[in-house]
Amino acid sequence: MAIPASGRTLGWTLGAQSASSEEMSTSTPNYTSIWGNESQAGVSNQTRLPWANYPNQFVQPSWQIALWSIAYGSVVAVAVVGNLIVIWIILAHKRMRTVTNYFLVNLAFSDASMAAFNTLVNFIYAIHNDWYFGETYCRFHNFFPITAMFASIYSMAAIAVDRYMAIIHPLQPRLSATATKVIIASIWSLAVILAFPQCYYSETKRQPGRVLCLLNWPGDFIYQIAVLVLVYLLPLVVMAITYTIVGITLWGGEIPGDTLENYHEQLKAKRK
């Protein structure tokens, strides 16, 4: 199954359609982009991939494309700069280097990576419907931002567990800096393993007048299920359970420290 890289989100990974093996075995490649124009792609009426009839959604006047480019670039710049500032503040000040903040650094790095390496390239590819960046970057483009996205999700789950332990079990020993770094390394290792098929099956295909960056899957059902369970459902369940327990505890119970303060007030009242 061949899948275009343009405009892809993680939902695309789980919802992509597949092309039959007969379509993939034709002598003339019929790959096209989801944004592609059928007449430009040179796709025959007899053999057409499922996304061949989709128009390019960025076909707009030049001035509109310019405005979109400025707005899009500004958002990306703010995302990159903002996350880099968060990273600098935490790493440059020793008192900020807590367990939770280490996970925040990991989350900020993941988000900055996605903004820096993925979004603008996707925008350019969607506008021009032509891949200018070569096969090596095609593989990187399909691999690293997805890796960063997976790492970002797992970082949020780790923060949820850390907050749960700090609030619900405050007397339990906290994670050390070394243990936190091991967890972060494990997060990235798992993210790399889950995203590696995106790199392995990436390729570029040359068509008349353009080049496409595609994911050419032989069959991705098992991969979709694995991503759905490990990247969506598992972190979602972890965050839902931990934050629900924390919310119920804080809403229905006393604020930590109030019990001791009330005890001292009662002692003072008795002495009077």
Separation in Å, CA 87 to CA 78, 82, 151: 14, 9, 16
Residues in the chain with pLDDT values less than 70: 1-60, 253-272
Domains of the chain: 61-204+217-271 (1.20.1070.10)
pTM: 0.68
**Helix (H/G/I), strand (E/B), else coil: 213:** strand
Beta strands in the chain (DSSP E): 2-4, 202-207, 210-216
Q: 100-142, pLDDT tens digit by residue?
A: 899 999 999 999 988 888 888 888 887 888 889 889 999 999 8
State the pLDDT at residue 60.
Answer: 67
- Asked whether the beta carbons of 115 and 79 are under 8 A apart, the reply is yes
Q: 54-72, pLDDT tens digit by residue?
A: 455 445 678 878 888 888 8
